[in-house]
């Protein structure tokens, strides 16, 4: 939690500080409690609260219990329907859309197969049509929509809003996706990597969790994001998390890089389908793997076989869980973090069979220093990328940032 400052020129920063502490409190806070938690003077809190009330971002309700002489104070509570954000996750196989309120709760959602994933123009048409349909069906005032957050596979140019050359989206080369969506919808748009967005989904929502964790994202591809002190590690180009060649299992399948058992070689969707076929599972044909939707159907069939009791299918998915655990153990040792989160469209489907194997692998992992090491699946399920994309937009608008304190002469 950020602390405020009583300097008179810092009103905008203090506004986000107060809103942040009220949002995280959930049940509402009295002004005196806000002052104690933020370090702001009572008068500053009163002034900031008045501005937040005028903007409709908070409401007053109820009364605190009287702890001394005078009138009981009213509670400040977040007004979740005051603002909204659209979150979009572009996976090569599936597009997911959510509408979030200011609390980060999903108030509407849509999903559809990605149309002609190798054709950026067709994908943009599909994205814009679904965004407009989502807003129309939700019936929210468009003036209250902050914009659209878009999560895509990397690599990307975050500053320019350009999708560069993602290996799972052939045909995409320097596509200005952010500006295309903004121009077509008339809404502000931001672009970030899917694994970064997935981690950000857990930063906006107030909950009991560690402020330091690694997030394993499993979709069409595999990536890992790191959160330290409630901040996502983005790297110098914003493309941190490209972990396809991190070795998860030295005895695993060969990778095109020349090593064996790289995450991308053993855990991407197509690799699991290949392992399922080798284990005797009858799966629909996915050709040369260039059609992510065909690969996705094969993985769905693999999971269905496991649910029906096919021993080979279950073994493949359990091994996938163990391999996530092997890689997670290396990263948690390297970074000295106490928690692992796993999520994404692929993980959501294999977790019923891979989750126990992952937990067992982590439980058996000796931790340097002896601190507890926890592992959990993301609470946002297959829509974690879309939720995170919307949360990035909410965070940019309403999260206190130290850079806001820089004074320009």
3-state secondary structure of 52: helix
Please give the chain's pLDDT, 409 residues, in tens.
544 444 334 458 889 999 999 998 878 899 999 999 999 999 999 999 999 999 999 999 876 545 445 455 689 999 999 999 999 999 999 999 999 999 999 999 999 999 888 899 999 999 999 999 999 999 999 999 999 999 999 999 999 999 999 988 889 999 999 999 999 999 999 999 999 999 999 998 866 677 899 999 998 888 999 999 989 999 888 888 888 888 888 888 888 888 898 988 999 999 999 999 999 999 999 998 888 899 999 999 999 999 999 999 999 999 999 999 999 999 999 999 999 999 999 999 999 999 999 999 999 999 887 888 999 999 999 999 999 999 999 998 888 765 544 444 3
Q: Domain 8-78: state its class.
A: mainly alpha
- pLDDT tens, 196-249? 999 999 998 866 677 899 999 998 888 999 999 989 999 888 888 888 888 888
Does the pTM of the predicted model rise above 0.85? yes
How long, in residues, is the chain?
409
Beta pairing partners, 59? 77
Whole-number Å distance between alpha carbons of 354 and 120: 34
Give the model's pLDDT for residue 206. Answer: 65
Q: Domain 208-378: state its class.
A: alpha beta
Q: Percentage of residues in the chain with pLDDT exceeding 90?
A: 71
With the C-alpha atoms ordered 35, 231, 182, 406, is the resulting torsion angle positive or negative?
positive
Whole-number Å distance between alpha carbons of 110 and 294: 21
Whole-number Å distance between alpha carbons of 58 and 107: 19
Give the model's pLDDT for residue 8. Answer: 39
Give the model's pLDDT for residue 403. Answer: 53
Give the model's pLDDT for residue 133. Answer: 97
Check if 8-78 and 208-378 are the same fold.
Answer: no
Beta pairing partners, 95? 90, 112
Whole-number Å distance between alpha carbons of 353 and 279: 16
Give long-range contacts, CB 8 A cutoff, 24+ apart: 284-293.
Answer: 290/118, 290/170, 291/117, 292/91, 292/92, 292/93, 292/114, 292/117, 292/168, 292/220, 293/93, 293/113, 293/114, 293/117
Residue ranges per domain, the chain?
8-78, 82-201+387-398, 208-378
- Per CATH, which fold does 82-201+387-398 belong to? Nucleotidyltransferase; domain 5 (3.30.420)
């Amino acid at each position: 939690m950020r602390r405020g400052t009583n300097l008179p020129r810092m009103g905008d920063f203090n506004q986000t500080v107060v809103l942040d502490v009220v949002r995280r409190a959930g049940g509402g806070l009295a002004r005196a409690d806000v002052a104690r938690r933020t370090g702001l003077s009572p008068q500053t809190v009163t002034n900031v609260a008045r501005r937040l009330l005028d903007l409709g971002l908070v409401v007053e309700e109820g009364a605190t219990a009287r702890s001394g002489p005078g009138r009981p104070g009213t509670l400040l509570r977040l007004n979740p329907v005051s603002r909204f954000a659209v979150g979009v996750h572009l996976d090569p196989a599936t597009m997911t859309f959510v509408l979030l309120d200011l609390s980060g709760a999903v108030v509407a959602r849509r999903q559809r197969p990605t149309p002609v994933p190798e054709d950026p123009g067709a994908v943009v048409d599909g994205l814009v049509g679904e965004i407009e349909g989502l807003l129309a069906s939700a019936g929210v005032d468009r003036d209250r929509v902050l914009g659209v957050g878009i999560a895509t596979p990397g690599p990307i140019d975050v500053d320019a809003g350009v999708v560069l050359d993602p290996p799972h989206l052939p045909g995409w080369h320097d596509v200005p996706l952010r500006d295309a969506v903004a121009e077509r919808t008339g809404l502000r748009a931001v672009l970030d990597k899917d694994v970064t967005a997935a981690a950000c989904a857990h930063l906006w929502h107030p909950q009991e969790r560690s402020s330091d964790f690694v997030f394993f994202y499993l979709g069409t591809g595999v990536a890992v994001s790191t959160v330290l002190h409630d901040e996502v590690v983005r790297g110098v180009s914003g493309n941190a998390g490209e972990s396809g060649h991190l070795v998860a299992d030295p005895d695993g399948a060969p990778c095109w890089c020349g090593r064996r058992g790289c995450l991308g070689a053993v855990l991407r969707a197509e690799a699991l389908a290949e392992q399922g076929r080798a284990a005797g599972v009858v799966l629909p044909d996915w050709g040369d793997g260039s059609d992510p939707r065909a690969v996705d159907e094969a993985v769905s069939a693999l999971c269905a076989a496991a649910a029906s009791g096919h021993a080979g299918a279950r073994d493949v998915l359990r091994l996938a869980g163990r391999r996530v655990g092997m890689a997670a153990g290396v990263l948690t040792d390297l970074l000295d973090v106490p928690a692992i989160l796993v999520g994404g469209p692929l993980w959501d489907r294999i977790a019923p069979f891979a989750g126990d194997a992952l937990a067992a692998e982590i439980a058996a992992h000796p931790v340097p220093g002896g601190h507890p090491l926890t592992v959990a699946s993301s609470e946002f399920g297959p829509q974690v990328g879309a939720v995170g994309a919307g949360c990035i937009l909410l965070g940019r608008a309403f999260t206190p940032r130290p850079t806001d304190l820089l004074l320009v002469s």
